[in-house]
Amino acid sequence: MLLRDKVCIITGAASLRGIGYATAELFAEHAAKVVVADLTMNEQVAAEIRTSIGKKVGQPAELHTVRCDIGSFDDCRTLFESAASRFGRVDCLINCAAVVKSQSFLSITEKDYDFVVDVNLKGAFNLGKAAVEHFVANKGGNIVNVASVAAQRGGGLVGGAHYAASKGGVISLTKSIAREYGPEGVRANVICPSMTETGMLDGMTEEKFQEIVSAIPMRRAGKPRDIAGACLFLASDLSAYITGTTIDVNGGSHIH
């Protein structure tokens, strides 16, 4: 049990097919107290998550669900307050919430750009600020932001330039938090997944999918659980001396 009694907020975890949910499930298996947050959270989604995690761990999970728009700082601060009032404190934030748009550079309008950057980058800023406020007061805490290989290689596969740029910003933002708040006991790291089998791939043709897979050294796409495993490592004390780093979870598709 790598997370016994650690209180972990996971954003972007509403879809049972997603990376956020897989992380919530794995964290519950490791005895964490899990706070699941998403823009689309409602009673039905919360009940599905509760049932699914309960089945996996074999008993009712210590779970709290919150509707949160990470584009709003007030929502992010309320998320931390709600988690702390339910479980006493927060130890860790895993930020998986994001939006993606597949567009060529010249087709991106100002509105498209603002939509993607406001959720992905401003959302990471809002959550980071709410987290750091809480963690500094608590004398420590841990942030994991899920970015993307698109930040390292340029967009083009699933997300456009605005998506890639927003994720590049998330990497820089995370490194800045690591540098500035390391002395206060705050760790901050990034995970860069490559193509992962979640709802984000809906709409991709089988032909395109196979073409991408054929160029991956491990010859398969990522599974949500692959990314969740890296989140578990970074959330646990196994990574106690790791901060400001980026972990690639990409089957070797971007070796650099």
Ligand X SMILES: NC(=O)c1ccc[n+]([C@@H]2O[C@H](COP(=O)([O-])OP(=O)(O)OC[C@H]3O[C@@H](n4cnc5c(N)ncnc54)[C@H](O)[C@@H]3O)[C@@H](O)[C@H]2O)c1
Window of 6-14, 81-89, 124-132, 233-241 that interacts with ligand X by CB under 6 A: 6-14
The CA dihedral of 34, 36, 42, 48, to the nearest 10 degrees, is -60
d(C-alpha 22, C-alpha 20), whole Å = 6
| 14: contact with ligand X by CB under 6 A | yes
Catalytic residue IDs:
163
d(C-alpha 159, C-alpha 194), whole Å = 11
| 39: contact with ligand X by CB under 6 A | yes
| 42: contact with ligand X by CB under 6 A | no
| 66: contact with ligand X by CB under 6 A | no
| 40: contact with ligand X by CB under 6 A | yes
Q: Pick out residues in 201-240 that bind ligand X (CB under 6 A).
A: 201
| 169: contact with ligand X by CB under 6 A | no
| 251: contact with ligand X by CB under 6 A | no
The CA dihedral of 134, 137, 139, 140, to the nearest 10 degrees, is 10
Window of 27-35, 103-111, 194-202, 206-214 that interacts with ligand X by CB under 6 A: 194-202
Window of 63-71, 107-115, 135-143, 236-244 that interacts with ligand X by CB under 6 A: 63-71
Q: Choose among 236, 175, 225, 173: nearest CA to 197.
A: 225
Residue number of the CB atom closest to ligand X: 18
DSSP string spanning 122-190? HHHHHHHHHHHHHHHHTT-EEEEEE--HHHHH-S-SSS-HHHHHHHHHHHHHHHHHHHHHGGGTEEEEE
| 198: contact with ligand X by CB under 6 A | yes
Pick one of 148, 152, 174, 236: the residue that binds ligand X (CB under 6 A): 148
Helix (H) or strand (E) holding 82: helix 73-87
42 or 237: CB nearest ligand X? 42
| 71: contact with ligand X by CB under 6 A | yes
Pick one of 3, 7, 9, 19: the residue that binds ligand X (CB under 6 A): 19
Give the number of residues in contact with ligand X, rule: CB under 6 A: 31
- As given in the structure block, the two tokens for residue 231 are 């989140």
In angstroms, how far is the first alpha carbon of the chain from the final one? 33
Cβ–Cβ under 8 Å, residues 223 and 166? no
d(C-alpha 31, C-alpha 2), whole Å = 8
| 195: contact with ligand X by CB under 6 A | yes
DSSP 3: T
Window of 14-22, 27-35, 176-184, 207-215 that interacts with ligand X by CB under 6 A: 14-22
Interface residues with ligand X (CB under 6 A)?
11-12, 14-15, 18-20, 38-40, 68-71, 96-100, 119, 123, 146, 148, 158, 193, 195-196, 198-201
